[in-house]
Copies of this chain bind each other. A is one copy, B any other.
Amino acid sequence: MSRQPNEPATMVLILTPWATEQDMQQLFQRIEDKGLDRVVYRAQVRTHIHVLGDLSGESETQWSAQPGVEQVYGLPKPYPMANKTHRRAHTRIPVGSQQLGSEDFVVIAGPCALESEEQGLEAARMMKGLGIEIMRASCFKPRTSPYSFQGLGVEGLHILSRIREATGILVETEVMDVRDVEIASELVDVVRVGARNMQNFDLLKEMSRIRTPVIVKRGASNSIKEFLLAAEYILQGNENVILCERGIRTFETGYRNTLDVGCVAVLKQETHLPVIVDPSHAAGNKTLVPALSLAGVAAGADGLIVEVHPHPSVALCDGDQALHRFQFENLMRDVRGVAAVLGRRTLPPLSTGFATPGPEPALSVPA
């Protein structure tokens, strides 16, 4: 998948009312130097210059910096590889027995953080028992405070690999440091770029050098356009990019972040890449996770990544938002129902009727 030339297009330069004749001559020269054509409309207040030809190398910034230019319009979308216009078939990424980006609806679930080999194994067995083929668990934790639990680090990657071997579950984990990308790509099945690193461009470049599928989480304040440009970085070398909407930062404080279902809908129009939703980090609170999960499915997502923990109340990280087993089972029942209405295939249902909150299983390790 090499980069294709951009489409020819028209760029429109709208001049300020105070643009001088000299400004205009310099613009004409610049247009000519680049082998482009022009058509000029002189309106009463503002002059418009239409520039025609191969504009694939042009950027708005360069043109709007020219003296006399007020606005620049009409350049093509800046993410040619991620854009659906250039690749109409959906990208499909195998995950266990399913394919992300097809009619399959894929659920990734597990604890926020890997806390120990025991906790990881217990979680993996619980996930397997619930029909989940791929478990999330972070070894490196991007923590806002330097005084919070920071994760098990590289040793955690080795633990995940052993859990994978012992249970047959696939594993997904975040990588934060450029120096850990290569080893992670060898030890786990899917790597993740966290929301806070969506514009850590050195990390994105490292991700373009591996072949392991990469989940890119949308930065909490990044636009859809910036999100697709982050994907574009990885697509320079690695086709296996999965986009994950996880809530944006707004003025509302009634929950942690605003899950942006409109982003899911726009992405499904704009790109061929698979799109999943993380309801747990958007909610920040387990009571909201079911509603947000179902909203994500209904908005057209190709999958979910949900936090579930065998013992939420002793979780070292984000225990607020991790579902109990019975909550997850009830959620999955509804997810399967909604997905089916929309023509999506999920893994076979495991139970019928409502799950009920039995006691948390006894801990084998002290909390």
Contact = CB atoms under 8 A, between A and B. Distances in A.
A175 to B, nearest CB: 10
Interface string A304-324: 000000001101011110000
A313 B261 contact: no
A312 B229 CA distance: 26
Nearest to A234: B146
Contacts of A300: 291
A147 B8 contact: no
A202 interface: yes
Interface stretch (A9-17, A99-107, A156-164, A183-191): A9-17
Interface in A31-85: 39, 41, 43-46, 48, 50, 52, 59, 61-62, 64-67, 73-74, 76, 78-79, 85
Given A144-B226, A201-B143, A295-B299, A61 B320 contact: yes
Interface stretch (A114-122, A128-136, A249-257): A249-257
A177 interface: yes
A95 interface: no
Given A85-B17, A269-B287, A320-B65, A251 B254 contact: no
Contacts of A65: 312-313, 315, 319-320
Interface of A: 7-10, 12, 14, 17, 39, 41, 43-46, 48, 50, 52, 59, 61-62, 64-67, 73-74, 76, 78-79, 85, 142-148, 176-179, 196-197, 199-202, 219-221, 223-226, 229, 232-233, 236, 247-255, 258-266, 268-269, 282-283, 287-288, 291-292, 294-300, 312-313, 315, 317-320, 334, 337-338, 340-342
29 contacts: A9-B48, A62-B319, A65-B313, A65-B320, A142-B199, A143-B201, A145-B232, A146-B232, A176-B201, A179-B179, A196-B199, A200-B200, A221-B249, A223-B254, A224-B254, A247-B262, A248-B258, A252-B260, A253-B253, A254-B263, A254-B266, A261-B295, A262-B292, A264-B291, A265-B288, A268-B291, A295-B295, A338-B342, A340-B341
The 9 A-B residue pairs with the shortest CB-CB distance in the complex, in nearest-first order: A221-B221, A65-B319, A337-B341, A265-B291, A298-B298, A294-B298, A196-B199, A7-B45, A261-B295
